Structure 1
Amino acid sequence: MAQYVIGDLQGCLTEFKKLLDKLNFNPGTDTLWLTGDLVNRGPQSLATLRLVKQHDGCMQTILGNHDLHLLALHYSYGKLKRADTISDILNAPDRKQLIDWLLRQPLYRQQDNYVMVHAGIWPEWTCDQAQLLAQEVETVLQNTPEQFFSQMYGNKPVRWNNNLSGDERLRFITNSFTRMRALTDDGAMDFDYKGTLINIPAHHIPWFKAPHRQNIDKTILFGHWSALGFYQADHVVCVDTGALWGGSLTAFNLNDRSVVQIPSEIKLNIEN
């Protein structure tokens, strides 16, 4: 029995199927963790979502920012962007079943010494605290989705405070799990920088290099930061290697920590 984690699919179905073939993936015995962003910007979002839903017994995902964007649009919040490729989902005959299934997916998964999130975990949170905060958002998201999505979009607040409440608290938790990359020296999320680690601006650090990080007792698996590429250090593993941008789709074996990749067959010149 093998268990893999695979980076952001974003509708790259051809690469996903080729990677599964290369892994000799057996849905009867093997399992997958998917880092979220199943859909959007790639060419086959609807078919990708249908495939993962069909195999949700052996393919387990979490919510990424593009998945949340799709859900928000379903509930008539947010705006369809020029580069979005999710209109086919919103017009699909099985739209409701797909949306209902996606809405039930978590922000955080944990097994043994591994934790999976889409973008990261706020450095001040322990893994146990992060799991509780994720459940806090999931409860609101699944019970009152219209209210959640009406207030989801936005960058503020940029720093955590235990006294945060209401919409600001939910937005910060959601942004930490699904949008975070770089932090400023004074401990604020910077949503503008999406580049490589070597070119990160002065007075900025990646979230996983923050001093006094409280979540280093487990290995955190994440995607979202395609310019970072495959990264294995600092008690984290990034598996988003830019399949959408002409890079590759990556599978990381949780049993032996080996890496298998399939080169991308598409090249899109659009902003993540």
Structure 2
Amino acid sequence: MPLTHSASIWAIGDIQGCCASLDALLRHPDIQADEQAHFWFAGDLVNRGPDSAGSLRRIRALGERATCVLGNHDIHCLAVAAGVRKPGKHDTLAALLAAADAQELLDWLRHQPLAHYEHEHLMVHAGVHPAWSPEQTLEHARELEALLRADDWREHIAELFGNEPDAWHPALTGQARRRAIVSTLTRMRMCRADGSMDFKHKGAPDPDSGLLPWYELPDRACADVPIIFGHWSTLGLMNTPTLLSLDTGCVWGRQLSAVRLQDRRLVQIHCPENQKPGE
């Protein structure tokens, strides 16, 4: 269905547990005026901000009006809950994990997809491999979703962490395959010319680094597909016909951003600093 025939869709960037900022965004007059609007969340719903549990409750309460993809912080949260990863120095997950409804919230979180394609728009948290079409992106995302949704997910989620391999290849199998997919969908920013991922560069794109932003790699199968993503606060807002980057550093005291897909109307809420940039 073309966007013009659907209810308004607002795509929203990384919340990272900043529930008060999300509430303020949803109360914005332009968004409240869209009474039947749907909301697409580009991942990293939790962690680093002060109220991850509240953020999950707020989004979950939207029911079918909310579509989310998982980000790296969301998967990390699940791994901490499973006892296979230790909380990071700057994590703020303790209150969520101790909440009376923690199990309910975590079960809801682990059943969210890692990619969403609708109205000819593709949403992921970080990026899309240049060889992947939208259909292939969904297919590979489903491999991870099956692991996270399985009854024994706690026994296997540790397989998703690690920097190797740093490149996707269709011949990959097992843990290496799953790690390459999860790194692409939830961690990718800058890449080498051969398409392999660099996990050290977290700043803005730097032409002197010898690296390319993933969306500038040549011969991308999704070059003409509008892609919605977050994850890259130092890149900030990018609003072009085919790229909608929405992580504008809410948790760092910058903005929480929403863009209406039908007309690319931008709404931003200025946010309190919950973590110092660079932490």
Q: TM-score normalized by structure 2?
A: 0.92
Contact 2:252 2:272 in 1 (8 A): no
Residue number in structure 1 paired with 2:175: 167
Q: How far, CA to CA, are the matches of 1:220 and 1:33 in structure 2?
A: 12
Q: Which amino acid aligns with 1:194?
A: K
Q: How far, CA to CA, are the matches of 2:191 and 2:31 in structure 1?
A: 39
Contact 1:185 1:204 in 2 (8 A): yes
Please say which of residues 56-65 and 166-175 is displaced more in the overlay: 56-65
Please say which of residues 55-64 and 140-149 is displaced more in the overlay: 140-149
Equivalences for 1:202-213 in 2 at 5 Å?
202-213=209-220
CA separation of 1:245 and 1:171: change in aligned 2, threshold 3 A: same
Q: How far 1:102 moved relative to its partner?
A: 0.6
Q: What is the DSSP-based 3-state SS (H/G/I as helix, E as strand, rest coil) of the residue aligned with 2:112? A: coil
Q: How many residues align?
A: 271
User: Is 2:88 the counterpart of 1:108?
Assistant: no
Contact 2:147 2:157 in 1 (8 A): no
Contact 1:62 1:106 in 2 (8 A): yes
CA separation of 1:136 and 1:267: change in aligned 2, threshold 3 A: closer
Residue number in structure 2 paired with 1:258: 265
Q: How far 1:93 moved relative to its partner?
A: 0.8
Contact 1:127 1:215 in 2 (8 A): yes
Q: What is the DSSP-based 3-state SS (H/G/I as helix, E as strand, rest coil) of the residue aligned with 2:251? A: helix
Q: What is the DSSP-based 3-state SS (H/G/I as helix, E as strand, rest coil) of the residue aligned with 2:227? A: strand
Q: How far, CA to CA, are the matches of 1:148 and 1:200 in structure 2?
A: 38
Q: How far 1:250 moved relative to its partner?
A: 0.6
Q: What is the DSSP-based 3-state SS (H/G/I as helix, E as strand, rest coil) of the residue aligned with 2:27? A: helix
Residue number in structure 2 paired with 1:88: 95
Q: Which amino acid aligns with 1:19?
A: L
CA separation of 1:106 and 1:205: change in aligned 2, threshold 3 A: same
Q: 2:42 aligns with which of 22, 30, 35?
A: 35
Q: How far, CA to CA, are the matches of 2:99 and 2:21 in structure 1?
A: 23
Q: 1:6 aligns with which of 6, 12, 34?
A: 12
Q: How far 1:201 moved relative to its partner?
A: 4.4
Q: How far 1:146 moved relative to its partner?
A: 2.3
CA separation of 1:257 and 1:187: change in aligned 2, threshold 3 A: same
Residue number in structure 2 paired with 1:17: 23
Q: How far, CA to CA, are the matches of 1:149 and 1:258 in structure 2?
A: 38
Equivalences for 1:172-251 in 2 at 5 Å?
172-197=180-205, 199=206, 201-233=208-240, 235-251=242-258
Q: Which amino acid aligns with 1:219?
A: P
Contact 2:117 2:134 in 1 (8 A): no
Residue number in structure 2 paired with 1:63: 70
CA-to-partner distance for each residue in 1:47-102, whole Å, 9 max, x for gaps?
11111112232122111100001111111111111100011111111111011111
CA separation of 1:57 and 1:234: change in aligned 2, threshold 3 A: closer
Q: What is the DSSP-based 3-state SS (H/G/I as helix, E as strand, rest coil) of the residue aligned with 1:16? A: helix
Contact 1:209 1:234 in 2 (8 A): no
Q: How far 1:180 moved relative to its partner?
A: 0.5
Q: How far, CA to CA, are the matches of 1:234 and 1:202 in structure 2?
A: 27
CA separation of 1:173 and 1:254: change in aligned 2, threshold 3 A: same
Contact 2:189 2:198 in 1 (8 A): yes
CA separation of 1:38 and 1:188: change in aligned 2, threshold 3 A: same
Identity of aligned residues (%): 37
Residue number in structure 1 paired with 2:141: 134
Q: 2:163 aligns with which of 114, 137, 155?
A: 155
Please say which of residues 199-208 and 112-121 is displaced more in the overlay: 199-208
CA separation of 1:108 and 1:26: change in aligned 2, threshold 3 A: farther
Q: What is the DSSP-based 3-state SS (H/G/I as helix, E as strand, rest coil) of the residue aligned with 1:120? A: coil
Contact 2:48 2:274 in 1 (8 A): no
Q: How far, CA to CA, are the matches of 1:86 and 1:270 in structure 2?
A: 19
Q: How far, CA to CA, are the matches of 2:155 and 2:227 in structure 1?
A: 30
Q: TM-score normalized by structure 1?
A: 0.95
CA-to-partner distance for each residue in 1:93-141, whole Å, 9 max, x for gaps?
1111011111110001111121110001111211111111111211122
